[in-house]
Chain A
Amino acid sequence: MSTAKVATRSVRVYVPCDSAALSVGASGVARAIAKQAVSRGLDVSVVRNGSRGLFWLEPLVEVETPRGRIAYGPVSTEAVGDLFDAGFLDGKPHPLCLGPTEEIPYLKQQERLTFARCGIVDPLSLSDYLANGGYRGLQRALSLTPEEIVAEVTNSGLRGRGGAGFPTGIKWKTVLGAQSDQKYICCNADEGDSGTYADRMIMEGDPFVLIEGMTIAAIAVGATEGYIYCRSEYPHAFRSMQSAIAIARENGYLGANVAGSGKRFDLEVRLGAGAYICGEETSMLESLEGRRGQIRPKPPLPALEGLFGKPTVVNNLITLATVPIILDKGAEYYRDFGMGKSRGTLTIQLAGNIKHGGLVEKAFGITLHDAIYGFGGGTASGRPLRAVQVGGPLGAYFPASFLDTPLDYEAFGARKGMLGHGGIVVFDDTVDLAKQARFAMEFCAIESCGKCTPCRVGSTRGVEVIDRIIANENRTRNLELLDDLCELMTDGSLCALGGLIPLPVMSAIRNFPEDFDKRADFDKPAPAPPGLIDPQNRETHPWR
């Protein structure tokens, strides 16, 4: 290879700055690439992009070539020299080469609308954002009346992606119709459900799309201030959002005159403080106001009396980040994806004991089986799949026989489950469902805000009853008692935490009754903990 020839052009190499990529050594790889380039006299510019969401391949390095972007992964620091020797800057073959990124089946079979730019652009480059379709949605929104924007969102069929699935357009219409001197847009980025990371990926990989979505919402309903409530477990996402907001403000996309429209909208990102309940919208509002994150009884709806008592749009991050493409391409374009009453795409997050964990954005309607086996490749441990929890800690445990369930709000509801935020956590046959049911109650006891008795006291009593069932004390009577307690929590709790925690508990009992039999071995750790094996059979781990 003639170094002199290569040195005449600057090669763009992409190494993600997404937290998941960082967690397996992406920054070390980025430094190693820069260092090798210097020592070889090559002109390489390393771009820190978001993640494509193919996490088992992270750190996924991409090189820009005349044939498009060529992917290599998972790349370790040690492999970098070898990649240079093999000519990866020209997209040449290497054992780690995955070919053109867009052709990787996992990615090619997706329908990326909300995540259209994630992993492609430099997250903090406004020019990248604009060059890839950014702010076209806002531009169109500015040519419409507020009523027309709301109608567009309503017609798209977009429903809240946080879990409740409430039609977004209807919520906006209520806020638009409310009379007030001040209205707010609040983005719920308190993504506390285990198995979910889509919000984090957007904040770290394409933060401007959220800013644009919130701006469109503000113009639609007449709000002038917005808040993003970001959980404290996401320090990188928080900093990325802070930087993106500052850049948008400097470039006139936030502030007194948004994109030259004469309309005012400004935005601030706030940090939560480790309370799961603050993902509940009224708790989040209390927390933003500087109080304990205790839920507020509804009514009044936040749409009428929300933040600081003013009409407020509270939407999940993915909901807001989906608004720009709906405005850009039109309601019909978005509505044409999906099934039944679930329109558009779902951001499926494959997690837990899964071989190919990652983000799969796909039209509603794909079955659990196709998500877990078609994309996910089955369990990471190679053992049989036994249980799946969809929708976070408040979601039901499904057995393998339920894998034909399509990912659709109504289909999950029909099987007494919940689609939630789209997180799918896979368990192999070492899972103990009695232990999982106990954990659900324990989690509820730890995270209950304390406002209502069914949740505050019920969860602690629930742990005790499950302990007695496991110890085989009056098993039949205690199972009845647990059933009764769950019914009371479902009907009597003020919010979804106490109201839905019976879902994982009762589904575990219903679908896995054998695990609630006498169990002398309960205190022993699970057999053959699969987390301690490397799902990729990689020889080296970056931190070893």
Chain B
Amino acid sequence: MQAWDADRAQARIQELERLPGALLPILHALQEEFGFIHPEATPLVAHALNISHAEVHGVISFYHDFRHASPGTHVLKICRAESCQSMGCDALIQHIEKRLGVKLGETTPDQSLTVEQVFCLGNCALSPAVMLDGEPYGRVSPSVADFLIDSSRRAQ
């Protein structure tokens, strides 16, 4: 992840703008680059695709994936769907929230970790499941969660 750079954003937009239905691929590319969709990206994207700012904003706000603010260095997604509920994900979430002092959807004050809810990671035979920086983890007990949190924060 790097700091906002309009030229870099423009370059990423230009790589993709000719795809049919290019908006989602462009937004994914921008989020991959900067960690979130910077407000200044909206007019660039709207201009490239010849659509209104409102349309771009509407799409950004519709999808849960697209962030409006910079996330922490690491992102921990915790599954809250039924399969993980049946294996105690509510208690796991309580444990993680208490330990980090933040709620789902928030970032720790030191900006090291963002915790997000997700509905199903497709690892339902090994619930409760989480995903840390895009890597899946199954059968996550509180001690496993502590290990993941500690090692990711150490590694930054």
Quick one: which of B63, B66, B125, B143 contacts A56, CB cutoff 8 A?
B125
A212, CB-defined interface residue at 8 Å: no
Complex Cα gap A291–B122 (Å): 25
Residues of chain B within 8 A (CB-CB) of A20 are: 122-123, 125-126, 136, 138
CA distance A439 to B66 in the complex (A): 24
- B12 part of interface (Cβ distance < 8 Å): no
Contacts of A423 in B (CB 8 A): 83, 124
Interface string of B50-81 (1 = CB under 8 A from A): 00000100110011111000000000010101
The distance in angstroms between the C-alpha atoms of A287 and B20, with both chains bound, is 11
- B112: Cβ under 8 A from any A Cβ: no
Q: How far is the CB of A524 from chain B (nearest CB, A)?
A: 10
Q: Is B1 an interface residue (CB 8 A)?
A: no
* Residues of chain A in range 409-461 having any CB-CB distance to chain B below 8 Å: 423, 425-428, 431, 436, 439, 443, 446-447, 449
Taking a contact as CB atoms under 8 Å apart, the answer to whether B84 and A531 are in contact is yes
B129 within 8 A of A: yes
Q: B118–A24 contact, CB under 8 A?
A: no
Are B125 and A55 in touch, CB under 8 angstroms? yes
Residues in B whose Cβ lies below 8 Å from that of A292: 58-59, 62
Are B120 and A233 touching (Cβ within 8 A)?
yes
**Interface contact A22-B120, CB-CB below 8 Å:** no
Which listed residue, B55, B87, B138, touches A380 by the CB 8 Å rule? B87
When the two chains form their complex, are residues B124 and A273 in contact, meaning their CB atoms are under 8 A apart? no
Contacts of B58 in A (CB 8 A): 292
**A194 with B88: in contact, given A24-B138, A270-B25, A292-B59 (CB under 8 Å)?**
no
Bound CA–CA A529/B123 (angstroms): 19
With both chains docked as a complex, state the minimum distance between the C-beta of A258 and any C-beta of chain B, in angstroms. 20
Closest Cβ–Cβ distance, residue A439 to chain B (whole Å): 7
Over the window 531-544 of chain A, the binary record of Cβ atoms lying under 8 Å from chain B Cβ atoms (1 yes, 0 no) is: 11011000001011
- The one of A199, A288, A351, A530 in contact with B88, judged by C-beta atoms closer than 8 angstroms, is A530
Instruction: For residue A405, give the distance in angstroms from its CB to the closest CB of chain B.
Output: 18
Q: A380-B87, A389-B82, A541-B139 are in contact. Are A290 and B122 (CB under 8 A)?
A: no
> Which of the listed residues A58, A233, A544 has the most CB atoms from chain B within 10 Å of its own CB?
A233
B135 lies within 8 A of chain A by Cβ: yes
* Interface residues in chain A, defined as those with a beta carbon under 8 Å from any beta carbon in chain B: 19-20, 22-24, 55-56, 58, 191-197, 199-200, 232-236, 270-276, 287-294, 308, 349-354, 357-358, 380, 389, 393, 423, 425-428, 431, 436, 439, 443, 446-447, 449, 525-526, 529-532, 534-535, 541, 543-544
3 nearest CB pairs, A to B: A357-B125, A531-B88, A529-B88
Given contacts A19-B136, A289-B21, could you give 10 more A-B pairs where the C-beta distance is less than 8 Å?
A195-B82, A234-B122, A271-B24, A272-B24, A275-B64, A293-B62, A351-B127, A352-B87, A393-B119, A428-B86
What are 26 contact pairs spanning A and B, CB under 8 A?
A: A20-B123, A23-B129, A192-B120, A195-B83, A197-B125, A233-B120, A236-B136, A272-B65, A273-B63, A275-B63, A276-B119, A290-B23, A292-B62, A349-B125, A352-B82, A423-B124, A436-B82, A529-B88, A529-B92, A531-B87, A531-B92, A532-B141, A534-B141, A541-B143, A543-B140, A543-B144
